[in-house]
Chain A
């Protein structure tokens, strides 16, 4: 039996915790960790009579992200109440935005397998987080430190077609969030969360199939894995004539399976209505303009500039712009050395490998951008050989000392002074008079022997080119 060709339709809802000091609607701290139920107040506890007050910084960060996602920013947006009961939702409703979100109709571009892909952003809206429940047999515990923490929910259009695309999209949103300082993008700690909406349809069909929402995905790899599993599950359903239900499913990474959490029949009627405790959020054009002006260069355009300005290959440019700090490091090292390709090579091969092996961020690199630039410059100026440079690089990593100091300390500087090299050559020739005779007699193969002896004499520090030149001149000129 010929199987049909199925096409997945995927959209992502990304929740990003905004990097504010205090919560969305109160002055409680947002710091991760801390004792249970310590970062709370009458507002985040939902005490009788407590009222929310909007955190201006959260609005500013949301506008920042909205602009970076090419969204239209509403001059006037509103908060609404999303009503549902859950023990870790203190007020019995979550303050969110509903039909008047802050950011709408944008897009984001990123590369998948060297091809540029554009995904629409339907909306990005502000909301508060709930608390955290943990279940222990016959009782449950609730920690409300997270309750009220500000989130930006970024909703993509149904534009993604493969699990890989979905993961790349999520990575690129994370990259932008981190570039802007809007969110630290830590999936494991939950400061960024990805929910995936997935349906399948026969290739060529316009109409969407029944969608399933996947939750509890805490890494980009699991975005791919969960979607792969779910696509296959839906295909199996379709091909065996079973119906796909609109439902929420949880991804279990240890079993690599998705499980039904609640069906549409159990779905909540959230009874959204405008929160009467809050006034509309007014964002004047002048403020939007100011935020726009202060936006940093975004990853994709920075990568393009690296290609244009530094003649880097696209591959290098994309990797070096993955993190703002990495790109800054690159540019600082280039500033010092004026050798972009060499800096890129050192970073892509040696530096990133060591950082990875030691699980370090670029900002914690023992080798500063200045030292890397210096090292590259020393190679360019032939102060050290490429072979020595690797040794020096490792020493900088170990000691964080400047390459100049290390080369001196280790006695590694290259001898380029012709007079000094002549002296070495003279010494070697004097000590090997017989070989000189033989060479001059026609055994020119002995040249290699002399190079080796001279190098040994110079402790490997003689500049090979200069040494070759002088050795040849002296051997070929009978005294």
Chain B
């Protein structure tokens, strides 16, 4: 049976009809991980309790218990704490860290009966756009192993694209779900800021981070979103708004809806294959009955500098806790004991963090320093508010904002590692959604001439995920590529 390219809904049906057990399904994906992942490197840790969890799910089903995800295996980005299961953030700093508690997202998935397959590779502490910054080595793009899967949730994207997991959880601080989803040809959703609890997710930039689903289909993404969203008393920044049943209400008919094409995004220097897919998507929207109009977001060109000020500043503080005192990596002081507390910190943090993480900590520390705060962090905050005003004004005219996810398809491994700025510019179209807090998603619509997937990006007003899912479904129905697998998988 070909199960690796089936949606969660299809697999759920098989489970419900008892055509397959969760243990068999989980075993199927574990075998695929075993077979393919040494080359792909999408998993950091495979959960040795996965089959036991699957058995429990089968027992529950036998007892007549229900669960939206009962018996369905999912992968979790290694940035989310999983009780009793190693959580590394792809860093030497947390190489052997086993959390005593689970992130709310994980608790909610398990609460609906999901089985945790394992923990997925990523850029260290979610800092990067290619998954090359992992202490455990880069993840490959299953469509072409010479290329990156994107990042930071590259492992989560590659595993779904290669059929090693039917769905995964990623996190998105500046595009870390949407960009790898685009590069790997899957669906990726960054929810509205405050929709999904950040409790238990290793923090990168607290005011930007959101966890979200990475799936084969739009409807699957809506389903996972339903499960993980909602108020959490452990995260003060979560919203008390009720969570709609998106996956049930979803419809690809867009008559009466207006799609706003972001002028600055489509007029940017785009790879011709990306441009072609953007135009195709616009035609699909019209075909689905939507009105398409152009909108301008003049400050969106500032999103990259603003993003890197905000994200690095918050990160410099969020990562201060990795000091080797209570848990995680500590430098070896047996031969040369530290002469001071400062030396203890310097050696531990100097050896424990990778170079991109250190670069960002230094940038952020500088931006928050006395004498620079006003010019950098404070100014970034002001522009961020202006940008939000422009987005909210745009959403008075349109239901969904539309544009490319990235200017080009996936780039080759090693291409941009030595040029941090070129790497940062990858996030040019994705950081705005995080800065403004709106939901955004990536939907695959086609392929480049080289055979690499190309996705497009949709954004909606805060807490208006439904219309975003509807528009995404309209594209998915017309693109018809959600069952496609890379060669060899």
Chain A interface (Cβ < 8 Å from any Cβ of B): 42, 45-54, 81, 83, 85-87, 90-93, 138, 142, 269, 271-273, 275-279
In the complex, the answer to whether B320 meets A91 with C-beta atoms within 8 Å is yes
For A142, what are the chain B residues with a Cβ–Cβ distance below 8 Å? 325-326
The reply to whether the CB of B413 lies closer than 8 angstroms to some CB of chain A is: no
Given contacts A271-B370, A276-B314, 14 further A-B contacts (CB under 8 A): A47-B81, A48-B81, A48-B87, A48-B203, A49-B99, A50-B199, A53-B233, A91-B320, A138-B337, A269-B370, A271-B316, A273-B373, A273-B377, A275-B206
The 5 closest A-B pairs by CB, nearest first: A92-B320, A271-B368, A276-B207, A276-B206, A49-B200
For B319, what are the chain A residues with a Cβ–Cβ distance below 8 Å? 92
For B314, what are the chain A residues with a Cβ–Cβ distance below 8 Å? 273, 276
In the complex, the answer to whether A83 meets B320 with C-beta atoms within 8 Å is yes
CA–CA, A279 and B240, complex, Å: 13
For A85, what are the chain B residues with a Cβ–Cβ distance below 8 Å? 320, 323, 341, 345
13 contacts between A and B (CB under 8 A): A47-B100, A47-B327, A49-B103, A49-B202, A51-B236, A52-B236, A53-B236, A83-B368, A85-B345, A92-B323, A93-B320, A273-B373, A279-B236
B237 to chain A, nearest CB (A): 7
Within residues 313 to 334 of chain B, which ones have a CB less than 8 A from any CB in chain A? Answer: 313-314, 316-317, 319-321, 323, 325-327
CA–CA, A301 and B157, complex, Å: 69
Within residues 325 to 366 of chain B, which ones have a CB less than 8 A from any CB in chain A? Answer: 325-327, 337, 341, 345, 365
B202 to chain A, nearest CB (A): 4
The reply to whether the CB of B196 lies closer than 8 angstroms to some CB of chain A is: no
The reply to whether the CB of B201 lies closer than 8 angstroms to some CB of chain A is: yes
For A90, what are the chain B residues with a Cβ–Cβ distance below 8 Å? 321, 325-326
In the complex, the answer to whether A48 meets B370 with C-beta atoms within 8 Å is no
For A52, what are the chain B residues with a Cβ–Cβ distance below 8 Å? 236
In the complex, the answer to whether B97 meets A277 with C-beta atoms within 8 Å is no
For chain B, which range describes its interface: under 10, 10 to 19, 20 to 34, or 35 or more residues?
35 or more
In the complex, the answer to whether B206 meets A277 with C-beta atoms within 8 Å is yes
In the complex, the answer to whether B198 meets A51 with C-beta atoms within 8 Å is yes
Which chain B residue shows the least CB distance to A91? B321
In the complex, the answer to whether B317 meets A92 with C-beta atoms within 8 Å is yes
In the complex, the answer to whether A48 meets B325 with C-beta atoms within 8 Å is no
Which chain A residue shows the least CB distance to B200? A49
CA–CA, A47 and B99, complex, Å: 8
For A276, what are the chain B residues with a Cβ–Cβ distance below 8 Å? 205-207, 237, 314
Known: A42-B100, A47-B327, A273-B368. A93 touches B317 (CB 8 A): yes
CA–CA, A54 and B233, complex, Å: 10
In the complex, the answer to whether A273 meets B313 with C-beta atoms within 8 Å is yes
CA–CA, A371 and B126, complex, Å: 71
CA–CA, A86 and B344, complex, Å: 11
B228 to chain A, nearest CB (A): 15
Chain B interface (Cβ < 8 Å from any Cβ of A): 80-81, 87, 89, 94, 97, 99-101, 103, 198-203, 205-207, 233-237, 313-314, 316-317, 319-321, 323, 325-327, 337, 341, 345, 365, 368-370, 373, 377
For A271, what are the chain B residues with a Cβ–Cβ distance below 8 Å? 316-317, 365, 368-370, 373
In the complex, the answer to whether A51 meets B199 with C-beta atoms within 8 Å is yes
For B317, what are the chain A residues with a Cβ–Cβ distance below 8 Å? 81, 83, 92-93, 271, 273
In the complex, the answer to whether A277 meets B323 with C-beta atoms within 8 Å is no
CA–CA, A279 and B239, complex, Å: 11
B365 to chain A, nearest CB (A): 7
CA–CA, A85 and B365, complex, Å: 13
Which chain B residue shows the least CB distance to A138? B337
For A91, what are the chain B residues with a Cβ–Cβ distance below 8 Å? 320-321
CA–CA, A278 and B206, complex, Å: 10
In the complex, the answer to whether A48 meets B233 with C-beta atoms within 8 Å is no
Q: How many contacts between A and B, using CB within 8 angstroms?
A: 104
For B326, what are the chain A residues with a Cβ–Cβ distance below 8 Å? 45-46, 90, 142
B283 to chain A, nearest CB (A): 41
A59 to chain B, nearest CB (A): 13
A76 to chain B, nearest CB (A): 15
In the complex, the answer to whether B236 meets A278 with C-beta atoms within 8 Å is yes
CA–CA, A272 and B367, complex, Å: 11
In the complex, the answer to whether A49 meets B368 with C-beta atoms within 8 Å is no
In the complex, the answer to whether B369 meets A269 with C-beta atoms within 8 Å is yes
In the complex, the answer to whether B325 meets A51 with C-beta atoms within 8 Å is no
CA–CA, A334 and B100, complex, Å: 59
Known: A46-B321, A51-B236, A53-B234. A87 touches B341 (CB 8 A): yes
Which chain B residue shows the least CB distance to A42? B101
In the complex, the answer to whether B207 meets A48 with C-beta atoms within 8 Å is no
In the complex, the answer to whether A48 meets B321 with C-beta atoms within 8 Å is yes
In the complex, the answer to whether A51 meets B235 with C-beta atoms within 8 Å is yes
CA–CA, A194 and B314, complex, Å: 32
Which chain B residue shows the least CB distance to A92? B320
Give the interface centre of A47, A85, A86 by most chain B CB atoms within 10 Å: A47
B196 to chain A, nearest CB (A): 13
CA–CA, A49 and B101, complex, Å: 10
CA–CA, A276 and B316, complex, Å: 13
For B201, what are the chain A residues with a Cβ–Cβ distance below 8 Å? 49
CA–CA, A50 and B232, complex, Å: 13
B462 to chain A, nearest CB (A): 15
For B370, what are the chain A residues with a Cβ–Cβ distance below 8 Å? 269, 271
CA–CA, A328 and B103, complex, Å: 50
CA–CA, A109 and B207, complex, Å: 43
Which chain A residue shows the least CB distance to B81? A49
For B345, what are the chain A residues with a Cβ–Cβ distance below 8 Å? 85
B335 to chain A, nearest CB (A): 15
CA–CA, A269 and B235, complex, Å: 28
Which chain B residue shows the least CB distance to A88? B325
For A138, what are the chain B residues with a Cβ–Cβ distance below 8 Å? 337
Which chain B residue shows the least CB distance to A271? B368
For A93, what are the chain B residues with a Cβ–Cβ distance below 8 Å? 317, 320
CA–CA, A273 and B376, complex, Å: 12
CA–CA, A264 and B353, complex, Å: 30
For A87, what are the chain B residues with a Cβ–Cβ distance below 8 Å? 323, 325, 341
In the complex, the answer to whether B94 meets A48 with C-beta atoms within 8 Å is yes
CA–CA, A49 and B236, complex, Å: 13
Which chain A residue shows the least CB distance to B328? A48
Give the interface centre of A81, A87, A92, A93 by most chain B CB atoms within 10 Å: A92
CA–CA, A301 and B341, complex, Å: 50
CA–CA, A273 and B236, complex, Å: 18
Which chain B residue shows the least CB distance to A54? B236
Which chain B residue shows the least CB distance to A277? B206
CA–CA, A93 and B81, complex, Å: 21
B369 to chain A, nearest CB (A): 6
B147 to chain A, nearest CB (A): 30
For B337, what are the chain A residues with a Cβ–Cβ distance below 8 Å? 138
For B316, what are the chain A residues with a Cβ–Cβ distance below 8 Å? 83, 271
For B89, what are the chain A residues with a Cβ–Cβ distance below 8 Å? 48
B80 to chain A, nearest CB (A): 7
B287 to chain A, nearest CB (A): 42
Which chain B residue shows the least CB distance to A79? B236
CA–CA, A278 and B238, complex, Å: 10
For A48, what are the chain B residues with a Cβ–Cβ distance below 8 Å? 81, 87, 89, 94, 97, 99, 202-203, 321
Give the interface centre of A51, A83, A87 by most chain B CB atoms within 10 Å: A51
CA–CA, A83 and B313, complex, Å: 11
CA–CA, A83 and B234, complex, Å: 23
In the complex, the answer to whether A51 meets B368 with C-beta atoms within 8 Å is no
A46 to chain B, nearest CB (A): 4
Which chain B residue shows the least CB distance to A43? B234
B108 to chain A, nearest CB (A): 15
Which chain A residue shows the least CB distance to B378? A273
B475 to chain A, nearest CB (A): 33
Which chain A residue shows the least CB distance to B366? A271
CA–CA, A42 and B235, complex, Å: 13
For B103, what are the chain A residues with a Cβ–Cβ distance below 8 Å? 49
For A86, what are the chain B residues with a Cβ–Cβ distance below 8 Å? 341
B3 to chain A, nearest CB (A): 32
CA–CA, A38 and B485, complex, Å: 52
For B237, what are the chain A residues with a Cβ–Cβ distance below 8 Å? 276-279
Which chain B residue shows the least CB distance to A48? B202
